[in-house]
Amino acid sequence: MNTTGMTMGRRAFCGGLAVFGASAALAGCSAPTKQNESAGGETAETDIVVLGSGLAGSACALAAAQGGARVTIVEKSPSLGISFLTSKGNVSICQTVENEEFWQFVPEIPDTMDDFVARYDKVTKTGARDVAYPDYNRVRALMGASCETINWVEQIGVDFTQSFTKEQVGTDTVKPDMAATNEPDKAPGLFVFECMKKALEENGVEILLEHEATTLVSEEGSIVGVEVLDGSKTKQIHAKAIVLATGGFGGSEEYLDELVPSVKSVGFQYLGNALNTGDGISMAKTVGAACYEDGWVIPFNVMPCKKLTDANPDFKRLCDMPMSGAPIEGGDVKSKLLVDAAGERFINEASPAIAQVTAMADHDAAPYYVLFDASNADVAAMLDEAADGESVVKADTVEALAEAAGTPALVASYEAYRDAAAAGADEAFGKPAEAFASYQESGPYYLVSYVPSYVATMGGVKTDADCRVVDESEAPIEGLYAIGEIAHRFMYNRSFVRHCSNSSALSMGRILGTSLAAE
Ligand SMILES: Cc1cc2nc3c(=O)[nH]c(=O)nc-3n(C[C@H](O)[C@H](O)[C@H](O)COP(=O)(O)OP(=O)(O)OC[C@H]3O[C@@H](n4cnc5c(N)ncnc54)[C@H](O)[C@@H]3O)c2cc1C
């Protein structure tokens, strides 16, 4: 490795940075590692390079720097933690009798670790597939460390408070206590990353924003560095450990087609970071990493199709749990009739979002429609404006609607739905009596195209319990690690256990960073 030559100046290193919106405060550039220019181009040298600055990458970088390592973060976007900035900041924790010293709040009935696993297993098996995960040894280790991780994050100035109990969402959950800060209205995710940035800088972590990791550098089978694109310039950073923390593949059509084809066939909307294009997966594959073949997504909700939300952003609030803003009154879709392309009902519409999204993907009979009437004048006005005979179909009667939309079973589904509502018993799908909408006796009626949405993915590279990336023979690839969403497939069977992605990303990062620094 050639490390002689010219030192690169700080100005050149920071050149071309642009920042935007809420993340402006998180843009920045700290003192670079030693820079050199060799015959092959610029090179730098450090102890650990972390690719990606989400919860996983930032936690890893901070823990490693706290342990005395020289650390560089390479981040493609202009901001630290870009995927998390608008987040409500919920993080699941596992409070068991075994880790009482780290509890965040006193649970009404404490779990044992076995209780926790039983509850977790029930949630993640919604729509279960025949796969070998969750890997409960790793779930136990990571979730068992979650309270300690939250205590560690609190040391950088984020106080957490209880947000959900395990009885509500499957795991005890905490979120940043914004009421205890000077800026209670700030997005919790942004606040976390402001504290994180300060801590990273105080611990001397070099942060390279708008730098895209492109290629791993290997030497005799070991990973010894990474090639990074800075605008049009390429440079190499050599290190003893390269940590892939580049998130999922929700922004990559190619990976989605390969790993989750229903995203295209059902028309899922992606609400996550468009920069998460599976770059770390691609880099790891080129050096022989084994990857999961069965991908899936972390669902968010069921919402109007992209054509509608693109034309009128208010459509994003025509669902029970919008990404931002309040639901539009009259848009309580969980009470309404949801049908498939044939007009058949196929699920209890009041099911949790994860079950709905899974059913829509597995049923694979898009387009899906929600039936509206004109009882809410504001909603009807939105639908009238959007009616195009495709994403919003309008007619005076349900019979005419079925004809216009080409959904022949709609009339029978509608009648059965009304009968079940009147009887207070939904034998077909088990929707509770109080959750049924009561439709008006006269039209107009509308069929509105609804799709599942997702915020993150499951799939990516395989790792061992020490977060080392492994090859097809399960042997670790020396010098290469992966944490967070790029590697968290082992945490789930099918369904996401709410807020465990944030939790496992933080814990994987903290634990790996600490151990790399100690090596
Ligand atoms: C809107 C939204 C809501 C969510 N809600 C929840 C929730 O309630 N609970 C929960 O547990 N999880 C939630 N998630 C998912 C969760 O935020 C992530 O899965 C988790 O935080 C994983 O973090 P990560 O660090 O692995 O990935 P990320 O935070 O996505 O970080 C990856 C980073 O890598 C960068 N990157 C990508 N490619 C490159 C490259 N080539 N070079 C350099 N940098 C690169 C990206 O720009 C990004 O900053 C949500 C996600 C979104 C987007």
Interval 100-127: pLDDT, tens: 999 998 888 889 999 999 999 999 988 8
Instruction: Identify which of 107, 17, 144, 125 has the alpha carbon closest to the alpha carbon of residue 358.
Output: 125
pLDDT of amino acid 23: 43
Estimate the share of the chain in helix, then strand, then coil, as percent rounded to the nearest 5: 35, 25, 40
Name the percent of the chain lying above pLDDT 90: 83
Sheet holding 34-38, edge to edge: 34-38, 41-45, 233-238, 222-230, 211-219
Residue among 20, 83, 234, 286 whose CB has most ligand 1 atoms within 8 A, to mutate: 83
Q: Would you call 118 helix, strand, or coil by DSSP?
A: helix
pLDDT category at 40 given cuts 50, 70, 90 is: low
Which CA distances in Å does 26 have to 123, 192, 201, 330, 473?
35, 11, 11, 39, 41
| Sign of the Cα pseudo-torsion (305, 308, 310, 313, in order) | negative
Which CA distances in Å does 175 have to 108, 172, 458?
18, 11, 23
Question: What average pLDDT score do residues 234-254 get?
Answer: 97
Question: What average pLDDT score do residues 263-277 get?
Answer: 95
Residues 261, 263, 267: CA angle, nearest 5 degrees: 130
Q: Does the pLDDT value for residue 11 go beyond 80?
A: no
Instruction: Return d(Cα 327, Cα 198) in angstroms, integer.
Output: 35
Instruction: Return d(Cα 156, Cα 377) in angstroms, integer.
Output: 49
Residue among 26, 72, 84, 168 whose CB has most ligand 1 atoms within 8 A, to mutate: 84
| Residue 219 DSSP one-character state | E
Q: Which numbered atom of ligand 1 lies nearest the CA of 82? A: 49
pLDDT of amino acid 2: 28
pLDDT of amino acid 26: 60
Interval 350-362: pLDDT, tens: 998 889 999 999 9
Instruction: Identify which of 259, 263, 300, 256 has the alpha carbon closest to the alpha carbon of residue 277.
Output: 256
- Which residue blocks in 92-226 are alpha helix, DSSP H? 113-124, 136-144, 146-154, 166-169, 188-202
Taking the centre of ligand 1 as the mean of its atom positions, its distance from the CA of residue 325, in whole angstroms, is 21
CB-based contacts of 499, cutoff 8 Å, min separation 6: 90, 91, 92, 164, 169, 171, 173
Contact indicator for 66, 495 with CB cutoff of 8 Å: no
Q: Which numbered atom of ligand 1 lies nearest the CA of 55? A: 25
Q: Does the pLDDT value for residue 4 go beyond 50?
A: no
Instruction: Return d(Cα 327, Cα 321) in angstroms, integer.
Output: 7
Q: Is 342 exposed, middle or buried (0-12, 13-18, 19+ CB in 10 A)?
A: middle
Helix (H) or strand (E) segment spanning residue 270: strand 269-270
N-term to C-term CA, the chain: 21
Radius of gyration for the alpha carbons in the chain, expressed in angstroms and rounded:
25
Contact indicator for 420, 414 with CB cutoff of 8 Å: no
Domains of the chain: 91-199+247-295+459-518 (3.50.50.60), 297-454 (3.90.700.10)
Please list every protein residue whose CB sits less than 6 Å from any atom of ligand 1. Answer: 51-57, 74-77, 82-84, 87, 90, 212-213, 245-247, 271-273, 275-276, 279, 298, 455-456, 484-485, 499-502, 505
Instruction: Return d(Cα 417, Cα 348) in angstroms, integer.
Output: 11
Instruction: Return d(Cα 237, Cα 235) in angstroms, integer.
Output: 7
Q: Is 170 exposed, middle or buried (0-12, 13-18, 19+ CB in 10 A)?
A: buried
Q: Does the pLDDT value for residue 32 go beyond 90?
A: no
Taking the centre of ligand 1 as the mean of its atom positions, its distance from the CA of residue 290, in whole angstroms, is 21
pLDDT of amino acid 518: 97
Instruction: Return d(Cα 337, Cα 335) in angstroms, integer.
Output: 7
CB-based contacts of 468, cutoff 8 Å, min separation 6: 476, 477, 480, 481
Interval 142-194: pLDDT, tens: 999 999 999 999 999 999 999 999 988 889 999 999 999 999 999 999 999 99
* Count of other CB atoms within 10 angstroms of residue 410: 26
pLDDT category at 29 given cuts 50, 70, 90 is: very low
Cα 260 → chain centroid: 15
Atom 31 (ligand 1) nearest CA: 54
